[in-house]
Amino acid sequence: MRTSIEAARERVRRAKRVAVLTGAGVSAESGIPTFRSNGGYWRQRRFEDLATPQGFARDPKFVWTWYEERRRGIARAEPNAGHRALVELEARAERFTLITQNVDGLHERAGSRNVIRLHGSIWSLRCLGCRREIEEHAELNELPPLCECGGMLRPGVVWFGESLPAGAMERAASAVSEAELLIVVGTSAQVYPAAGLIPMALGAGAAVLEVNPAETEFSDDVTFALRGGAAEILPALL
Ligand code: OAD
């Protein structure tokens, strides 16, 4: 494991096939809380109540109140220098795939194009009745919101115990297996199958560069571990 930014920058400069895996930490400097760091959502709330189908079935209004509060917070937030550096990296690389666990849409707002969203989108709403999925950015006045068909809408995100969107993990795995460099930014790497992309890249012989102010379970195994915030480290890598 190396910690030199110069060596990491040189590796990034040479890389033609790049995959990136991001988590909540990449949006932290945009003012959006993470899940497991200090001040993170799961430090004060039970994920069982807020991010499982069972929790939603028990109290949809409670779950929607939390999601709507997050939606409004995200709507006020702006992409940061870390998101923007990944846009620049995409423009430079021959092949580039951005795999994100985030549901905030900030990568897309910054201008990233080839994005795989493993955990869905907080801007999408799915009907439990007719299964239709709609995109809605406006404030939701009535909670839980209802579909035109009268069915209840749920957040279009992946909850614990649910499958990932069809094909998303397959596309992510294929991008990682083809990449010579995987950059892992702002994830505690505790949630699978997303975290499994890191050992997959290492097993395939790719260089893995971790950007995180804290250590993760994979820090000892990665090729480069850079400690610091995404908005500082990612631009410094270019
Ligand atoms: P976590 O909250 O588990 O981890 C956030 C990571 O970001 C931690 O390792 C922090 O050290 C790091 N971090 C904090 N500030 C940072 C900064 N400024 N720059 C870079 N890194 C920073 O979030 P995820 O790993 O994304 O799932 O969590 C994975 C999944 O668990 C989420 O997608 C969500 C959650 O429950 C669902 O909702 C299904």
**CATH number, domain containing residue 90:** 3.40.50.1220
Cβ neighbours of residue 187 closer than 8 Å, sequence gap 6 or more: 21, 22, 23, 24, 25, 101, 194, 195, 212, 216
**Active-site residue 119, yes or no?**
yes
Question: 178 and 229: one domain?
Answer: yes
Interstrand relation of 95-100 and 115-117 (parallel, antiparallel or unpaired): parallel
Note the pLDDT tens digit of each residue in 41-91: 999 999 999 999 999 999 999 999 999 999 999 999 999 999 999 999 999
Task: Say what the pLDDT of residue 36 is.
Answer: 96
Instruction: Please check the confidence at residue 21 and state whether its pLDDT lies above 90.
Output: yes
Task: Say what the pLDDT of residue 2 is.
Answer: 86
What is the model's pTM?
A: 0.98
Note the pLDDT tens digit of each residue in 115-146: 999 999 999 999 999 999 999 999 999 999 99
Task: Say what the pLDDT of residue 127 is.
Answer: 98
Domain end, chosen from 107, 142, 157, is at 157
Task: Say what the pLDDT of residue 3 is.
Answer: 87
Expressed as residue numbers, the domain containing 5 is: 1-32+79-119+164-238
Task: Say what the pLDDT of residue 86 is.
Answer: 98
The residue length of the chain stands at 238
Could you give the number of structural domains in the chain? Answer: 2
For every residue of 50-102, DSSP letters joined together read HSSHHHHHH-HHHHHHHHHHHHHHHHH----HHHHHHHHHHHHSSEEEEEE--
Joined together, the tokens standing for residue 232 give: 């500082």
Strand-pairing partners, residue 124, are 135
- The residues lining ligand 1, judged by C-beta closer than 6 Å to any ligand atom, are 23-26, 28-29, 34-37, 40, 47, 51, 101, 119, 158-159, 185-188, 190-191, 211-214, 216, 229-230
Question: 5 and 54: one domain?
Answer: no
User: ∠ CA(182), CA(188), CA(189), 5° rounding?
Assistant: 55
Question: 211 and 181: one domain?
Answer: yes
Protein residue with its CA nearest to atom 17 in ligand 1: 229
CA of 26 from ligand 1 middle (Å) equals 8
Ligand 1 atom closest to residue 230's alpha carbon, by position in its atom list: 19
Task: Say what the pLDDT of residue 114 is.
Answer: 98
Instruction: Please check the confidence at residue 113 and state whether its pLDDT lies above 90.
Output: yes
Task: Say what the pLDDT of residue 1 is.
Answer: 79
Place 236 in a pLDDT band, splitting at 50, 70 and 90.
Answer: very high
Note the pLDDT tens digit of each residue in 149-208: 999 999 999 999 999 999 999 999 999 999 999 999 999 999 999 999 999 999 999 999
Q: Count Cα atoms within 13 angstroms, Cβ side, for 85.
A: 22
Nearest by Cα to 165 from 100, 76, 86: 100
Protein residue with its CA nearest to atom 23 in ligand 1: 24
Joined together, the tokens standing for residue 61 give: 């209004």
Cα separation, 43 vs 210, in Å, equals: 23
